[in-house]
């Protein structure tokens, strides 16, 4: 009987000790830096370990939609001094997000060390009229990356993505040719077409930012051979050269380059390289002809030309 009482007392003491430990952990968790808010004007907020912080981006991939922004972001993340926001934040171009302030924007960023660069990408920024001034207000020294591809091919790719999304939700969608042409002529009001007028949108950015703060990446070249374009991006971002040709290999099944890092390979998801929606040769030629003058204006602005149709 005495042993039973002693055993019960021992169990009670152990339970009380464990309860005290749990209460201390809960109190400590409630005062964690995760729950504290920092001043919106600060560029970083505290993190709970390793001296890392969530920082406002030092570089932003601003576009273009269906130009290769995801590929560029994933390839830049191979660099050990780069941390990237995993999702498109749409802070500067969605009013609901912008009203939440810079502290909310910062909370969407990865934790980084002081020596690392935070990179965000939202392709919708490029065409949104209010975004350049808003980005400047956040950080006039931020570095901007713009990845472009053949604008005619980009229109078809843009349509293909919208079509896929509509079909996934079992919703009908007009054929591309019906949207693109009106009475046999290019329809200038088609939104996908307007997104490919690169010179118009870039001109708006250049009203706010100097040309040397915007680096133009050749999206078609990035797909053909990623390494040269990544080296240029490294230099623009003032990063030490850490990305190597060995970080890439051509995946014959997918038909594009995949990445290798620390013995692990990574390919873009199945939405990349998706077959384009059908468009007649005649309609595509009209599209190419329509873009000749806008393309020439874009080449003049960026001081280089591209091998587009």
Q: Has this prediction a pTM greater than 0.85?
A: no
Percent above pLDDT 90 for the chain: 73
Residue 42, pLDDT above cutoff 60? no
Q: What's the total number of domains in the chain?
A: 1
Determine, yes or no, domain membership for 96.
Answer: yes
Determine, yes or no, domain membership for 200.
Answer: yes
pLDDT for 254 equals 82
pLDDT for 272 equals 64
**66 catalytic, yes or no?**
yes
Determine, yes or no, domain membership for 145.
Answer: yes
Determine, yes or no, domain membership for 29.
Answer: no
Backbone angles phi, psi at 54, to 5 degrees: -85, 120
Determine, yes or no, domain membership for 289.
Answer: yes
Determine, yes or no, domain membership for 30.
Answer: no
Backbone conformation region of residue 96, classed left if phi is above 0, alpha if psi is from -120 to 50, else beta = alpha
By residue range, what is the domain housing residue 116?
44-302
46 confidence band (pLDDT: 50, 70, 90): low
pLDDT tens for each residue of 132-175: 999 999 999 999 999 999 999 999 999 999 999 998 898 988 99
Residue 226: Cβ-neighbour burial (10 angstroms; 0-12, 13-18, 19+):
buried
pLDDT for 265 equals 85
Q: Known binding site: residues?
A: 66-70, 149, 157, 257, 272-276
pLDDT tens for each residue of 251-266: 988 888 999 887 788 8
Mean pLDDT of 26-33: 36
pLDDT tens for each residue of 200-252: 999 999 999 999 999 999 999 999 999 999 999 999 999 999 999 999 999 98
3-state secondary structure 198-237: HHHHHHHHHCCCCHHHEEEEEHHHHHHCHHHHHHHHHHHC
pLDDT tens for each residue of 84-122: 999 999 999 999 999 999 999 999 999 999 999 999 999
Determine, yes or no, domain membership for 16.
Answer: no
pLDDT for 27 equals 38
Determine, yes or no, domain membership for 72.
Answer: yes
Q: Known binding site for 3'-phosphoadenylyl sulfate: residues?
A: 66-70, 149, 157, 257, 272-276
- Distance between CA atoms of residues 67 and 218, nearest Å: 9
Residue 285, pLDDT above cutoff 90? yes
Mean pLDDT of 269-284: 83
Question: Which member of 66, 171, 189, 266 is catalytic?
Answer: 66
* Dihedral angle over CA of 170, 175, 178, 180, nearest 10: 110
The CATH number given to whatever domain includes residue 112 is: 3.40.50.300
């Amino acid at each position: 009987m005495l042993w039973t009482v002693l055993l019960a007392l021992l169990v009670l003491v152990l339970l009380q000790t464990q309860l005290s430990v749990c209460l201390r952990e809960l109190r400590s968790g409630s005062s964690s830096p995760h729950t504290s808010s920092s001043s919106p004007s600060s560029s970083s907020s505290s993190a709970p370990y390793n001296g890392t912080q969530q920082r406002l981006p030092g570089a932003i991939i601003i576009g273009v939609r269906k130009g290769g922004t995801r590929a560029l972001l994933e390839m830049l993340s191979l660099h050990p001094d780069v941390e990237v926001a995993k999702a498109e934040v749409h802070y500067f171009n969605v009013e609901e997000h912008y009203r939440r302030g810079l502290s909310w924007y910062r909370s969407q960023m990865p934790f980084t060390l002081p020596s690392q660069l935070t990179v965000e990408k939202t392709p919708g920024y490029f065409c949104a009229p209010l975004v350049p001034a808003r980005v400047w207000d956040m950080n006039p020294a931020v570095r901007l990356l713009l990845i472009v591809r053949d604008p005619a091919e980009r229109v078809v790719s843009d349509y293909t993505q919208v079509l896929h999304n509509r079909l996934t939700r079992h919703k009908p969608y007009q054929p591309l040719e019906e949207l693109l042409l009106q009475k046999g002529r290019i329809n200038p009001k088609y939104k996908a077409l307007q997104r490919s007028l690169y010179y118009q949108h870039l001109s708006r950015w250049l009203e706010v930012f100097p040309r040397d703060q915007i680096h133009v990446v050749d999206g078609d070249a990035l797909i053909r051979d990623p390494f040269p374009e990544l080296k240029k991006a490294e230099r623009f971002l003032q990063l030490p050269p850490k990305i190597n040709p060995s970080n890439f290999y051509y995946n014959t099944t997918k038909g594009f380059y995949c990445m290798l890092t620390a013995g692990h390979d990574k390919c873009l998801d199945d939405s990349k390289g998706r077959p384009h929606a059908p468009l007649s040769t005649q309609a595509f030629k009209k599209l190419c002809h329509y873009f000749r003058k806008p393309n020439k204006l874009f080449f003049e602005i960026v001081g280089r030309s591209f091998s587009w149709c």
